[in-house]
Amino acid sequence: MPDIPFAHASKGRSGTRSALPVREPLDRSWAWGSATGRGVEVCVIDSGVEAELLDDGSAFTMEQRGDEWHVVPDAPNDTAGHGTACAGIIRSLAPDCRLTSVRILTGNLRSSGQALAAALSWAIQERFQLINLSLSTRKPDIKEQLHDMADTAWYSGVTLVTAAHNSPVISYPWRFPSVLSVGSHAVADAEHLQWNPTPPVDFFAYGVDVPVNWIGGATRSVSGNSFAAPHVTGMCARILEAHPKFGTSQLRIVLSCIADNLE
């Protein structure tokens, strides 16, 4: 296995079919067939997304009023490039999904955790089927809020696809079992998926030297678990088009069954 220069990455381990609750192997033609994510509602909570990747009226940002953060409509706008990269990955796998962006980078670093919590709460209330969170927080005062929200999402049919931290630290919400958490492998294949037999990371997806869209129509090569998570979001969008009634638990099982590292 090639070296991966950050934490929560694949060690190249195999999973065993005997750990999965299905009698027959599932294949990708059953999981998604020719699905392109059509009609599946996906929310990207990140640095914003450039216009060409978004549907009309689907860009939002955070506004602070007193101590509270609110989600408000915005022109499509990405101030860092990160969100555009994630959205581009999702679109590459699920070109026909409906993408919405909530831009949560703020000028007030001391309340950035509250902005994240408010954005996530809004996205769950809006019942997006998939929420891509290629970020996490280490702030302890936000942990319980995020935990409750992750549980609410699970019960509401909203699946959070979250990136594990790039450093060997504990952060949230990717550590919660009610979300799908994603680390990186270095196999240059957007559809190569590894199931992790040793959680808390659930899956590994393509996250090293990934070619991505960037601000202003540019491209970059980027590395990090941030870019692995949207690959799983894209695959989930395909699965949800083919199987619209699936929630997080079903998606976790299907993804495990179609992983490339099962023996």
Structure tokens at 210: 């990934």
The 44-83 site mask, x for binding other proteins (CB under 8 A), equals ---x-------------------------------xxxx-
- Residue 82 vs 231, nearer CB to other proteins: 82
Beta bridge partners of 203: 182, 195
Find the shortest distance in angstroms from Cβ 131 to other proteins: 16
| Residue 205 makes contact with other proteins by CB under 8 A | no
DSSP string, 74-129: --S--SSSHHHHHHHHHHHH-TTSEEEEEE---S-GGGHHHHHHHHHHHHHHTT-S
Contact pick of 100, 121, 171, 256 for other proteins (by CB under 8 A) = 171
Q: How far is CA 7 from CA 1, 190, 252, in A?
A: 15, 20, 22
| Alpha-carbon dihedral sign for residues 207, 213, 216, 221 | positive
| Residue 145 makes contact with other proteins by CB under 8 A | no
| Residue 36 makes contact with other proteins by CB under 8 A | no
| Residue 216 makes contact with other proteins by CB under 8 A | yes
Q: If phi over 0 gives left and psi between -120 and 50 gives alpha, with beta otherwise, what is residue 140?
A: alpha
The 226-245 site mask, x for binding other proteins (CB under 8 A), equals x-------------------
Contact pick of 168, 198, 245, 263 for other proteins (by CB under 8 A) = 168
Structure tokens at 70: 């609110």
| Residue 11 makes contact with other proteins by CB under 8 A | no
Find the shortest distance in angstroms from Cβ 42 to other proteins: 20
Segment 20-27 long-range contacts (CB within 8 Å, at least 24 positions apart): 20/253, 20/256, 20/257, 20/262, 21/253, 22/253, 22/257, 25/257, 26/254, 26/257, 26/258, 27/258
- Residue 129 vs 136, nearer CB to other proteins: 136
By rule CB under 8 A, what count of residues binds other proteins?
41
| Residue 221 makes contact with other proteins by CB under 8 A | yes
| Residue 112 makes contact with other proteins by CB under 8 A | yes
DSSP-based three-state secondary structure for 35:
coil
Residues binding other proteins (CB under 8 A): 3-7, 47, 79-82, 104-110, 112, 135-140, 165-168, 171, 209, 214-216, 218-224, 226
